[in-house]
Amino acid sequence: MKLFRKIRQTLIKEGNLKKYLSYALGEILLVMIGISLAFQVNNWNDNRMKKNAEIRYYENLKDQIADDKNLVLQQVNFNNRYKAEYTYALRILETNNRNRMDTLGRIVLNLTQYSDFDRQGNIYETLINSGEIKLLRNYEIVNSIRTLEEKYLYINRMENIHYDVMMNYVASGIMPLIRFSDGKIQQPDRLFSYEFQNMILTLLDVMEEKDKVYHQAMNEIDHITHLIHKELKTK
């Protein structure tokens, strides 16, 4: 700055107006270029910070949905285990195979078992409410997150339906039929009735629908994970 001031003073003393104006114009241009560069550097820093924040969120999201998938898979295995049991019990009842009464007793005791993912929180709503959704520039990932949340909500609805059926229909239905202390059937004829078969069929229908939406959620998680891997490669 001292150098510029000295040059200006020299030009003024010489009285060379043309040179002074040319110099003044050049100095103004230098100042404007300096300001422009400062803005560019600031924007570059700001974009770099946003990019790093976006990368961190994608990585955190990938870890979170990976944990969700493991939990869903646990529910799939649990649900399928008892679905297989109930299917076997239904086959015994339909064939009126009363030689398998002890097996039926053990299965009847398990009719109150049900898988419960019970997903708490909402990734998409959290993104909206926190304002972090502005960081995510891949709209396909954002839309897929919303779709996944819809699957989670449907899972919770089906699990609530299963719980209601179990509490209001199954629990009261098996109470008179079996002695809980040893699993011995007390009313075989009632156990082999079509009403009891209908109850098991109802359970199996609910469990089949749960299995379907569990797998839909896991497929959506795999899709989002693939999109995130693809996005991170471009960063």
Token pair in block for residue 72: 């869903």
pLDDT, mean of residues 131-157: 86
Nearest to 151 by CA among 122, 130, 114, 113: 122
Let me know if residue 26 belongs to a domain: no
Give the per-residue pLDDT at 136: 79
> Would you say residue 171 lies in a domain?
yes
- Helices 17-94 and 123-130 cross at an angle (nearest 10°) of 160
Under 8 Å CB-to-CB from 202, ≥6 apart: which residues? 165, 169
Q: Answer yes or no: is 25 within a domain.
A: no
Residue 62 within any structural domain of the chain: yes
Within-domain flag for 124 = yes
Q: pLDDT tens for residues 106-131?
A: 999 999 999 998 776 667 677 666 66
The answer to whether position 34 is within a domain reads no
User: Is the backbone of residue 121 left (phi > 0), alpha (psi -120 to 50) or beta?
Assistant: left
Give the pair of three-digit tokens for residue 11.
Answer: 């030009």
- pLDDT in the model for residue 234: 82
Tens-place pLDDT, residues 181-191? 888 999 999 99
- The domain in which residue 59 lies consists of 49-233
pLDDT in tens, 21-80: 565 566 667 666 666 665 665 556 566 677 787 888 888 889 889 999 999 999 999 999
Mean pLDDT score of the chain, rounded to an integer?
83
Helix locations, 166-193, DSSP H: 171-174, 188-191
Q: Considering the domain boundaries, does residue 27 fall inside one? A: no
- The tokens of 229 are what? 């891997």
What's 99's DSSP letter? G
Instruction: Examine residue 44 and state whether it is found in any structural domain, yes or no.
Output: no
- Confidence tier at 20 by pLDDT (50, 70, 90): very low
Cα–Cα–Cα angle for 152, 120, 199, nearest 5°? 60
β strands within the chain, DSSP E: 178-179, 184-185
pLDDT for 198: 94
pTM score of the predicted model: 0.78
* Residue 2: band (very low, low, confident or very high) from pLDDT cuts 50, 70, 90: very low
**Structural domain count of the chain:** 1
